Structure 1
Amino acid sequence: MTSKPKPNLGVIFLGHVDCGKSTIIGHLGFLTGSVTKKQMDKCEKESREGGKESFKYAWVVDKTRHERSRGLTTISSVLNLELTTKSVTTVNVPGLANFLPKLMERVFHAEVAVLVVSAAEGEFESGISTNGQTEDHLRIASSFGVEQIVVVVNKMDDRNVKYSFKRYREVKTKTMHLLESNGYCANDVPFIPISGWCGDNLTENSTKMEWYTGETLLSTIESMHVPFKYADLPLRMPILNVFNISGLGTVPIGRIEFGKLEVNQVVKFGPTNTSGQVLSIQSFGKSKLVAYPGDEIGFHVKDATKKEIKKGMVAGDLENDPPSRVSSFQAKITLLNASPSLTINSKPRLFIHTLSCICNVDTMLQLLNPESADEILKKKPSVLNGGDTAIVVLKPQAPICVEPFDRYPKLGRFMLMMSKKLIGYGIIKSVTKAEN
């Protein structure tokens, strides 16, 4: 008899550049046995030879030559942790401002966000400054519906911090204000002082911070709730990448959000009519006959090429409500307070699941009271300003596949950018499918 798979929890690590996300994930992976001693020894040897020994844990997830030479994460990476009660897929994302799109294509997967802030003098302040990314990361997580959040105050071992409770309390107080201003109840958010490098409070309570009596990061993650997975809905798997593997063939990569994928199933890649048969499924080096919501997988598909399958497409069951091209969609949007005005024919960039494209503001139907969405302040407004909430119709300027929020929530939340700045967020109320 096949044992029932452990529930899968998606955990994304957020935070300003150089706050220590990669080091925390790599060290946590090693301490939990998800990273073997052989793998760790290799990272330690390579980092020492490169004159960057303090990056040995970070190099577990930062694997490219470019990342290692700069000491910065530039590519999203995934590490799977097999814990006692659940399987945890950790996602590391870049912390630089120009990599926000990489964050948005990953955060919609997550059920938990771990916000990393640095206790080091000047580093925390840089992260929460106007040019810092701490608040943008929080805002994106909140806008994409990530309800469970943990804050870790990293670098408590810094030579100027010296595991100081006073500094921890200062950082915690300021971070709580950011949480509240971005839709989180700060009093319900766990705060954990840690050292990603030394391992304090990662898997065992630190003897250097006896003033902290809470849980470790590992036990906190293990206690997080795994939301209900919609395996009974038609298959939806947004494509994150596609590879042509020698000796195998075309392998799309992504995470199943709804439904299930089985070997021999025929899948369609919306918004196109490309389809193919699933020959095999892999997840973190292990073969599967069936993959369920939450599983990060690659699958070998027959009769479909890398040229035909693109990032941002959505795989679905050819015989059961396959994903279709959408010509326009009605959405409820909220503009951020500092947003530029939107008018008819404004062209913001849409970020939804693994897709981004320019959309045209086709129609403005209603201006709503942001405090009471049922109250219509004005019909057919001519302009929307920062802080406004409205019902609008958006027309994508490229073929896309999206879904109503009330049916497929993770495929119905989005954010908008203009001039490389976040300007708003929204949910899709209804879609108009394109005629074949």
Structure 2
Amino acid sequence: MLTNNQFSAAKAAKAASITQKSASLPGKPRTQTGTTPKSKLQPKTQPNSPVNSTSKAGSSGSNTPTNKGSGSKSPLTVAQQDLAGLHLDQEVDLEAEKEKYKERAALSMKTEELIAKVRKEEEESGKKNISLIVVGHVDAGKSTLMGRLLYDIGELSEKEKTANERGSKKIGKGSFAFAWGLDALGDERDRGVTIDIATTHFTTPHRNYTLLDAPGHRDFIPAMISGAAQADVALMVVDGSPGEFEAGFERGGQTREHAWLVRSLGVKEIIVGINKMDLVSWSQDRYEEIVEALKPFLLSAGFASAKTTFMPLAAMEGINILENDVEELKEWYNGPTLISALDKVEVPPRPYESPLRIPVSNVFKGQTAIASGVAVSGRLCSGVVQVGDRLRAVPGDEVATVRTIEVDEDSSPYAVSGQNVTLYLSGIDSINLSIGTILCPTSLPVPLVSKFTTQILVFDLQSPIIIGTSVELFHHSVNLPATVSRLVNVLEKGQVTKKNPRVLQKGMTATIEITLRSTSNNNARIPIETSQQNKEMGRVLIRRNGETIAAGEYYLYLRSSIR
């Protein structure tokens, strides 16, 4: 034990070292400003850490002076060794340290404070974030309508419009000029159909919209499902020209299937735009004929009458998008324009306080100096995320750090539930990320399940569902092969009416067990939660032979199936 005199000497030696270090730094001496954020703490394996330095000091090659006259080290020399191990006399390159931790800087704001800040900003601005999916049968005019909307509100410039007109005329598709504002892929422009989800952003007086333009062709239903899983409200576009509405609404058309899909994926409000009404001379009879056919169907699909809005449109001419200035239409229609209807849609409550869940819809490499490295895009189902957060990728045990967040293509220090985001990550290889991966907190990962029970509604199908039916299971942006391994019961108005049924027919509500099919080198599992835990994370769709046959919610764990 050190005597009082020896302790005072050690303390003086430490002070002298600190003074020497401060004098060697340019400018003002460094002062203590608070606790170092956890994201900036040095890892234990750093070469300058006290652990490694102390072990070197005790080795046989140490240059630390000793008291040779006594034949052993004095207590004072031991104190000097300890102080030397701290490297207090070394100069620190402050600029290099700033650069080193530049992209790892985390917000000090607590989650509760962030949520309160977001809600306050929403109240003060009067604007809320919402995602819109545009659906409908192929060639109904979805992309043209949204391209015209973007042009009318100033999001698509005159220069871009003129370039699209020239390009589309060059390949003999002059009527697709507005559609090219969203259909940017070469194949989409050559074929004249939307293939992948096109994403853009626009604002109305009270809403910040993320627009998801979905493909209408039946070959691209998986892409449409991925987009619908990220949406809050749907705009269904139907073709009002002679014979075209019927082609999209009858069996085999996509109008019915798209309505079932968006409702099954949680969309509760729908706007129906009856397009190309100029081709029928703004006929009120034709409009009412289509409305009367759609109303009972949408009601049976689960859309409440109060949450369903119908309106006549002419996308190419821009009529009833921002304003209605056609006398023939004014004579019988005095309802909302498209932009006014969009401005009044109800924004669902956001589960900010729930654990973070981000289903990945795309994985790519950032190409700019600011946004470089591994990047993923997706929608926050719940929770909040901040720059510097460490997230776990499920399936797998890999952990990544959030370097940069983009919301609506602008850099942001955080993102919250309901927003579509792009995250740039460090500390993880892109090989460990894929479409369908769920990003979540390291302490609250999503369970992985290979078998589960779900309550479903059976849609229109060609052949009944029986035990052993092979299906495709869709969950957000991922689809996996699965088998209906058990038919548990049939329900009516929430009550079990039959146990262990043999078959399931159109219109039935039932409880079934689904087992994922494993391959020879892969034990199939899916990251999923019950609907009671997280509504968006519990929804599933079931398809077979190119048609959607059922949709439901995962509501019960089978304990033996959890990994």
- Normalising by structure 2, we get a TM-score of 0.73
Partner amino acid for 1:56?
A
Q: 2: distance between equivalents of 1:59 and 1:261?
A: 34
Please give the secondary structure, in 2, of the residue aligned with 1:4.
Answer: helix
Partner amino acid for 2:314?
S
Partner of 2:536: 410
Q: 2: distance between equivalents of 1:380 and 1:50?
A: 58
Q: 2: distance between equivalents of 1:415 and 1:152?
A: 26
Q: 1: distance between equivalents of 2:306 and 2:203?
A: 29
- Does the CA contact (< 8 Å) of 1:249 and 1:301 recur in 2? yes
Partner of 1:391: 511
C-alpha deviation, 1:82, in angstroms: 1.6
Higher alpha-carbon deviation: 36-45 or 133-142: 36-45
Q: Which of 230, 238, 260 is the equivalent residue of 1:139?
A: 260
Partner of 2:363: 242
Higher alpha-carbon deviation: 163-172 or 407-416: 163-172
Q: 2: distance between equivalents of 1:352 and 1:279?
A: 27
Q: 2: distance between equivalents of 1:130 and 1:177?
A: 16
1:83-94 aligned at under 5 Å gives the runs 83-94=204-215
Q: 2: distance between equivalents of 1:306 and 1:266?
A: 16
Alignment of 1:307 with 2:431, yes or no, is: yes
Q: 2: distance between equivalents of 1:258 and 1:345?
A: 35
C-alpha deviation, 1:382, in angstroms: 4.1
Partner of 1:373: 494
- Does the CA contact (< 8 Å) of 2:366 and 2:424 recur in 1? no
Partner of 1:179: 298
Deviation per CA, 1:224-273: give whole Å up to 9, x if none: 01011111111011110100234511101111110011101011111221
1:263-274 aligned at under 5 Å gives the runs 263-274=387-398
Deviation per CA, 1:288-339: give whole Å up to 9, x if none: 11011121111110122222100011111113x1223222222112222435
Partner amino acid for 2:447?
S
Deviation per CA, 1:409-433: give whole Å up to 9, x if none: 1111111111112211111112357
TM-aligned CA distance change 1:282 to 1:117, over 3 Å: same
C-alpha deviation, 1:212, in angstroms: 1.0
Q: 2: distance between equivalents of 1:353 and 1:364?
A: 24
Please give the secondary structure, in 1, of the residue aligned with 2:335.
Answer: coil
- Specify the structure having the higher radius of gyration (Cα): 2
TM-aligned CA distance change 1:213 to 1:236, over 3 Å: same
Alignment of 1:47 with 2:168, yes or no, is: yes
Partner of 2:96: none
Give the RMSD, CA atoms, in angstroms.
2.0
Q: 1: distance between equivalents of 2:423 and 2:551?
A: 32
Deviation per CA, 1:68-113: give whole Å up to 9, x if none: 1111111111121122111011111111112222121221222211
Partner of 1:190: 309
Partner of 1:148: 269
Partner of 1:295: 419
The runs of 4+ residues in structure 1 deviating greater than 6 Å are none
Alignment of 1:109 with 2:230, yes or no, is: yes
1:189-268 aligned at under 5 Å gives the runs 189-208=308-327, 209-210=329-330, 211-246=332-367, 248-268=372-392
Partner of 2:452: 329
Partner of 1:353: 476
Q: 2: distance between equivalents of 1:96 and 1:108?
A: 18
Partner of 2:486: 363
Alignment of 1:157 with 2:278, yes or no, is: yes
Q: 2: distance between equivalents of 1:388 and 1:106?
A: 27
Would you tell me which structure has more strand in proportion to its own residues?
1
Q: 1: distance between equivalents of 2:547 and 2:199?
A: 26
Would you tell me which structure has more helix in proportion to its own residues?
2
Name structure 1 gaps, 5 residues minimum. Answer: none
Deviation per CA, 1:187-222: give whole Å up to 9, x if none: 752111111111101011232411210110000011
TM-aligned CA distance change 1:188 to 1:250, over 3 Å: closer
Please give the secondary structure, in 2, of the residue aligned with 1:190.
Answer: strand
Partner of 1:419: 545
Corresponding residue pairs, total: 430
Q: 1: distance between equivalents of 2:491 and 2:216?
A: 34
Please give the secondary structure, in 2, of the residue aligned with 1:273.
Answer: coil
TM-aligned CA distance change 1:388 to 1:166, over 3 Å: closer
C-alpha deviation, 1:43, in angstroms: 2.3
- Does the CA contact (< 8 Å) of 2:324 and 2:337 recur in 1? yes
Please give the secondary structure, in 1, of the residue aligned with 2:430.
Answer: coil
Partner amino acid for 1:14?
V
- Does the CA contact (< 8 Å) of 1:271 and 1:326 recur in 2? no
Please give the secondary structure, in 1, of the residue aligned with 2:289.
Answer: helix
Q: 2: distance between equivalents of 1:287 and 1:323?
A: 27
Please give the secondary structure, in 1, of the residue aligned with 2:290.
Answer: helix
Q: 1: distance between equivalents of 2:199 and 2:354?
A: 26
- Does the CA contact (< 8 Å) of 1:10 and 1:112 recur in 2? yes
- Does the CA contact (< 8 Å) of 1:414 and 1:426 recur in 2? yes
Please give the secondary structure, in 2, of the residue aligned with 1:68.
Answer: helix
Q: 2: distance between equivalents of 1:317 and 1:38?
A: 45
Q: 2: distance between equivalents of 1:187 and 1:316?
A: 36
Indicate the structure whose relative CO is greater, using CA pairs within 8 Å and at least 6 residues apart: 1
TM-aligned CA distance change 1:435 to 1:408, over 3 Å: closer
Please give the secondary structure, in 2, of the residue aligned with 1:138.
Answer: helix
Q: 2: distance between equivalents of 1:390 and 1:212?
A: 42
Q: 2: distance between equivalents of 1:179 and 1:341?
A: 23
- Does the CA contact (< 8 Å) of 2:393 and 2:433 recur in 1? yes
Partner of 1:31: 152
Alignment of 1:4 with 2:114, yes or no, is: no
TM-aligned CA distance change 1:93 to 1:233, over 3 Å: same
Name structure 2 gaps, 5 residues minimum. Answer: 1-116, 518-523
Q: 2: distance between equivalents of 1:254 and 1:190?
A: 28
Please give the secondary structure, in 2, of the residue aligned with 1:230.
Answer: coil
Q: 1: distance between equivalents of 2:319 and 2:456?
A: 42
Partner of 1:20: 141
